[in-house]
Structure 1
Amino acid sequence: MRARVHAGDPDAFRELFDEHVRSVYNHAFRLTGNWSTAEDVVSLTFLESWRLRERVDVDVEGSLRPWLLGIATNVARNVRRAARRHDGALARLPKGGVVPDFTDETAGRIDDRERLALMRKALAALREPEREVLALCVWSGLGYAEAAEALGVPVGTVRSRLSRARRKLDRLTTGGVRSPGEDREPPSGHGQQEGDREIAVRSAQEKTR
């Protein structure tokens, strides 16, 4: 697959999309907190993957999922920066009439929107690099080495960012009470860490009690 993607094989990219689009979409939503923006990130991620196909290392084995999630992380950063610039430009415009906001109406179709809102509020207190490594290691289930590959940073940086992110979430949501074994190495290639995700969800819920 790596060789075929590197060579620009269209069939390989279709297979790559079919296999990983859901994972990329979930990761994009966790970084942006917006369904529509996540869809834009997915589209841009696979366009970028085509543009960057020759950077795929064909001399190593393993899934291209970390590579795609790394591209998605960079795309999400750029999308957020563009959104901030757009919001800043709007804020400088003369005040006009109130424009109805249909966001809540759309979000009403999501059964777990309240829980997602609580989680986004807790995660918003983290620095961007900490949110990214948390999304990769906890939510997307990448190991330290895979997350390091996705972000283009050393493994030690991933470990320290994840540790800081967990400590901050502890302070913000549970008063610093940690669960035994929480600093264990994330498993590689086995999906999300359900235990850590449940801790994050439970912590966000407890914050509102």
Structure 2
Amino acid sequence: MTVETAELDDAELIRRSADDPGQFAGLFDRYARQIHLYVARRLGTQAADDIVAETFLVAFRRRHTYDHEFPLARPWLYGIAGTLVARHKRQEERLLRALSRTGVDPLPEPMADTVVRRVTASGRGRELAGALAALSLRDREVLLLVAWEDLSYEEVARALNIPLGTVRSRLHRARKKARAVLELEEE
């Protein structure tokens, strides 16, 4: 990435890519690693390679529809990746259920972020994986974007193209269900 490209916000890179498609590579340089880690946690590293490539291909093809009012394209890219992840829902559920049964994370990366590592350190990783597997895809998507990717509620709403209130209600429901599963495992 050139110094000039590094100084541009995402919206400007997307705008410039209309005349110079190579400018779009700046977005890939900024976000591919983050999106890869997020998808790998959900579907495994092999699927993540494909999903990341497809995410940026879809974004490139749809760049003319990007709302340039938003200087950061990160939520938009997570939204595209989330749609692609939904297509791989069954693989994700199998991965979480396998972790729940065996306690062995089949990924070279940790299953989750700092919060999950703390839970794992206290011997609760298997239960947490089971709790995640028990959530609906829509609730799990919101919870993971907030917990793993540290997106704000507004960014999640933008990424998933849902109202802010829906983000809040899905997150509340996901946390409540996860807590209930974890409390049952304690008994």
1:14 lines up with 2:25 in the alignment: yes
2:176 aligned partner, one-letter code: R
**Cα-Cα RMSD:** 3.0
Which has the larger Rg?
1
Query: 2:167 corresponds to which residue?
Result: 158
1:36 lines up with 2:46 in the alignment: yes
1:39 aligned partner, one-letter code: D
2:135 aligned partner, one-letter code: L
Query: 2:95 corresponds to which residue?
Result: none
Change (3 A) 1:163 1:76: same
The 5-angstrom pairing of residues 31-180 of structure 1 reads 31-32=42-43, 34-58=44-68, 60-80=69-89, 107=106, 110=108, 112=110, 118=126, 119-174=128-183
Check conservation: 2:59, 2:80, Cα contact below 8 A: yes
1:125 aligned partner, one-letter code: A
Change (3 A) 1:144 1:61: same
Structure 2 distance, partners of 1:45, 1:111, is: 21
Structure 2 distance, partners of 1:164, 1:12, is: 40
Render the CA deviation track for 1:43-96: whole Å, top value 9, x for unaligned: 1111111111111112x1431100000000001112336x69xxxxxxxxxxxx
Check conservation: 2:142, 2:171, Cα contact below 8 A: yes
Higher helix share: 2
Change (3 A) 1:43 1:173: same
Could you tell me which runs of 5 or more consecutive residues in structure 1 were left unpaired when the two chains were aligned. 85-105, 176-206
Render the CA deviation track for 1:140-164: whole Å, top value 9, x for unaligned: 1111111000000000000000000
Check conservation: 1:31, 1:131, Cα contact below 8 A: no
Check conservation: 1:70, 1:150, Cα contact below 8 A: yes
Check conservation: 1:42, 1:72, Cα contact below 8 A: yes
TM-score computed with the length of structure 1 as normaliser: 0.64
Instruction: State percent identity of aligned pairs.
Output: 35
Render the CA deviation track for 1:88-126: whole Å, top value 9, x for unaligned: xxxxxxxxxxxxxxxxxx94x837579597243321000
Q: Is the partner of 1:124 in helix, strand or coil?
A: helix
Compute the displacement of 1:12 (Å).
2.6
Compute the displacement of 1:208 (Å).
7.8
TM-score computed with the length of structure 2 as normaliser: 0.71
Structure 1 distance, partners of 2:181, 2:130, is: 10
Deviation >6 Å, runs of 4+: none
